[in-house]
Amino acid sequence: MIQLPLDKKYILPPILLSLLSFTLMVLNTNDLLEFHRDKIAAGEIWRIFTGQFVHANPTHLLLNIVGIGFIWLLHAEHRTQSQYYIHNAFLALWTGLGIWLFVPDIKVYTGLSGLLHGVIVWGALKDIQVGMRSGILLFIGIWAKLAWEQWAGPSAEVGALIQSRVAIEAHLIGAIGGLIMGLGLIRNKS
């Protein structure tokens, strides 16, 4: 029988992340918080971080909440509450800075997808560290997906759903951030 990680310490962080993004959408905060290159250049540097938590539309938000749930099912028991918040904050900043520095073609960016790719990579490495063979498959699978995206380009179908171009560069940047966070796990393999 499958044991879901329903303990408060496992379920509260993903619920809070989902509620944060939902609240920001309901309050229509995109004009104030989205990653907007011109406004960042004009001094609104908080957008590098906050752009991760706002979304293009409700479908975009729903897709990211499904991602949060998927990661919770796979890796909730791998991190403490404080690690969850630290990882998400690091990956939000990492992804925003990566887009700012290395992807000048992205003028506006919203969503958790870069951050979520980083969390998945870290979780796969944690799986490997604790001896779960599925971690190897997940690690290979996520990098195969990223390679495919870089080769084939963004999904037009998903772009139509979210009414925005899928920022595959953010996925890659976030995944690299997750790999960096996971380097200590590789070194400290049980």
**What CATH code is carried by the domain that includes residue 36?**
1.20.1540.10
- Choose the weakest-confidence range: 10-19, 37-46, 119-128, 158-167: 158-167
Within a domain: residue 159?
A: yes
Give the mean model confidence (pLDDT) for residues 54-81. 95
* pLDDT higher than 70, residue 63: yes
At residue 69 the predicted structure's pLDDT band, cuts being 50, 70 and 90, is very high
At residue 189 the predicted structure's pLDDT band, cuts being 50, 70 and 90, is low
pLDDT, position 169: 98
Within a domain: residue 2?
A: no
Q: Which domain holds residue 146?
A: 8-187
Torsion, Cα 70 76 82 86, to 10 degrees, reads -40
What's the structural domain count of the chain? 1
* pLDDT higher than 60, residue 113: yes
pLDDT, position 1: 56
Within a domain: residue 160?
A: yes
Within a domain: residue 3?
A: no
* pLDDT higher than 90, residue 143: yes
At residue 188 the predicted structure's pLDDT band, cuts being 50, 70 and 90, is low
Within a domain: residue 75?
A: yes
* pTM of the predicted structure, to 2 decimals: 0.94
Within a domain: residue 77?
A: yes
Q: Give dist(CA 81, CA 13) in Å, integer.
A: 6
pLDDT, position 5: 84
pLDDT, position 176: 98
Within a domain: residue 1?
A: no
At residue 4 the predicted structure's pLDDT band, cuts being 50, 70 and 90, is confident
What is the residue whose two structure tokens read 């409700």?
A: 58
DSSP state of 52: G
Q: DSSP string covering 2-37, please? A: -----SHHHHHHHHHHHHHHHHHHHTT-HHHHSEEH
% of the chain beyond a pLDDT of 90: 91
User: Where does residue 14 rank: exposed (0-12), middle (13-18), buried (19+ CB within 10 A)?
Assistant: buried
Give the mean model confidence (pLDDT) for residues 123-135. 94
